[in-house]
Amino acid sequence: MGELEESFTRDVEAYYGRTGETEIKTLDQIRNELLQIEKLTGVKPAIIYTFFFDKDIDDEELNKLEKRINSSEEQALVRPDSETSNLQWEFFPQGEATEYSTIKRFLPEERHDDDKLVLLLVTARHKPVVKRVEGATRKEVLSKARVFKTDVVTTAKLELERAQTFYNWLITPIEDDLGNKKVDNLVFVMERELLNLPLAALHDGTEYLIEKNYSVGLMPSMSMTDTRYVDIKNAPMLAMGTGRFEGFSDLNNLLTIPLQIAGIREIWNPTEVTPLEDEKFTIKNLDQALVEQQNLGIVHLTTHGKFEAKATNSYIQFWQDERLTLEAMGNRKFEVPPVELLVLAACETALGSKNPDVNFAGAELGFAGLANQAKVKSVLASLVSDVNEVGTLGLMIRFYRELKTAPTKAEALRRAQLAMLKGEVVIEDGKLKGSGLDNDIQLPKTLAEVFDKKELSYPAYWSWFTIVGNPW
């Protein structure tokens, strides 16, 4: 288990130029943390490690490993002190984690086309489950992933066959286990090439994954994630951004940014939201706000951004020509105390190029590790660079409405996505309806003419946004 955690962790650290800084969590620690989340939120989470075993490991060896892990008796849970407010749990026997040292030799030292896809399911109260995915080689999975992502980006109606393929690979092998364990929150720790899959758009042939009452999130690893739970339903917020990018040939103006910030203030409570727009949207003002408002729970940035193969080339765009690189994110004071949620809400906060066939190498790792690098607990952002601006407006405002009542951030996002999927958030007569505000939002004339009677229920409008880091 530790070998898997270390493998995922060190890959992300390397993207940000850090080596060996993160302490690797044991299986016992991970399950303790999952149990605390369950106790505090009522949500039952599961971590799903998605990775490839070495191509040279034969079926007999895999069968032995699966049998050894899956046939073990479940461990008892012992709570040391039922009266203590510190929800610490112990799992016995403590030596069980060493059993997973055998996994290390199954991991490939180099990537090969015929490496085998494997799922490892970890929950709070049960033994981990290992499942091979029959017929899913690295070459096949990555090839289908490119096509699937292209479908979701470029077509109005998703080709369900491709969405079903990934459902069959990532969910079906463990679906009975999820049901038996009553899991309702899926957190994926994935191979780098799969990190920008629109998981919410997976489909079983009848309904989407989010319709099955699963909220979804991504993590770089449990070791890199601060899993402590804090209720942010009334947390103070800093809302910053700009839609004006004159002079940048590669950045489109965003006409909905003032509407987004105004809508969020109305939903959240104007007295709890500090707005800084256009010329006030500077790195200096961000730093000042983080120092002066140390009770900030949410930082909402509405602007463009790019994730590239190197952290030094990846950035968040501020006013005019000012850019905050991901490498420099770690120098901000997000962690005193930790900001619970950083929202990057614009149509180009994503993985670089709009071409899904481009290999970003480390870009996906940068995206996955952003919460850890910024020293925030969670990041909400888009996985692609051409998310519809009006769709983003509706999703963001609806997200904050749902966050007022949902038990977790991932569940709030699921509810907002469902509202769009079910046609509750629509554009009619030049107005955005169903966002969660008391009144409809009148769109700027140029957008109203283009998007009038626009259907926002397709996955292209809602499935690309995901919670990265702590989804709770």
Question: Which pLDDT tens digit goes with each residue over 348-368?
Answer: 444 544 444 444 445 666 777
Specify the pLDDT at position 205.
Answer: 93
Could you tell me the CA-to-CA distances from 167 to 205, 282, 402, 431 in Å, in that order?
A: 9, 42, 26, 35
Could you give the 3-state DSSP secondary structure of residue 432?
strand
Instruction: Tell me the C-alpha distance between 357 and 346, whole Å.
Output: 22
Determine how many CB atoms are found less than 10 A away from the CB of residue 50: 19
- Mean pLDDT, 10 residues at a time, the chain of 472 residues: 85 85 93 97 98 82 68 41 35 37 69 92 92 92 88 68 94 97 97 88 95 96 96 96 88 91 94 95 95 92 82 87 87 85 72 43 68 89 79 95 98 97 92 94 89 80 93 97
pLDDT for position 61: 76
* Amino acid sitting at position 33: E
pLDDT at 446: 87
Which stretches within 199-354 are classed as H helix?
257-268, 283-292, 326-329
- d(C-alpha 427, C-alpha 261), whole Å: 19
CA atoms within 13 A on the CB side of 106: 24
Contacts of 1 (CB under 8 A, 6+ apart): 26, 27, 30, 97, 100, 103, 122, 128
Provide the CB-side half-sphere exposure for 445 (13 A, CA).
Answer: 0
39-56 pLDDT, tens digit per residue, is 999 999 999 999 998 887
Structure letter (DSSP) for residue 80: S
pLDDT in the model for residue 403: 98
pLDDT at 384: 73
pTM greater than the 0.85 cutoff: yes
In the block, residue with structure tokens 């907002």: 416
CA 339 → CA 290, 311, 397, distances in Å? 9, 21, 20
Two tokens, residue 472: 């709770």
Cα atoms found within 13 Å of the Cα of residue 254, Cβ hemisphere only: 32
Measured distance CA(147)–CA(161) in Å, rounded = 11
- Sequence-ordered list of residues with C-beta below 8 angstroms from that of 166, at least 6 positions apart, any chain: 144, 145, 148, 197, 202
Partnered with residue 277 across adjacent β-strands are: 241
Q: What are phi and psi of 72, to 5 degrees?
A: -65, 150
* Burial of residue 150, with CB atoms counted within 10 A of its CB: 0-12 exposed, 13-18 middle, 19 or more buried: middle
HEC secondary structure over 123-163: ECCCCCEEEEEEEEEHHHHHHHHHHHHHHHHHCCCCCHHHH
Domains of the chain: 2-218 (no CATH), 237-469 (3.40.50)
DSSP state for residue 338 in the 8-state scheme: B
> In the sheet that 349-350 helps form, which strands lie side by side, from edge to edge?
323-325, 315-317, 305-306, 349-350
What angle is formed at CA 120 by the lines to CA 351 and CA 21, rounded to 5 degrees?
Answer: 60
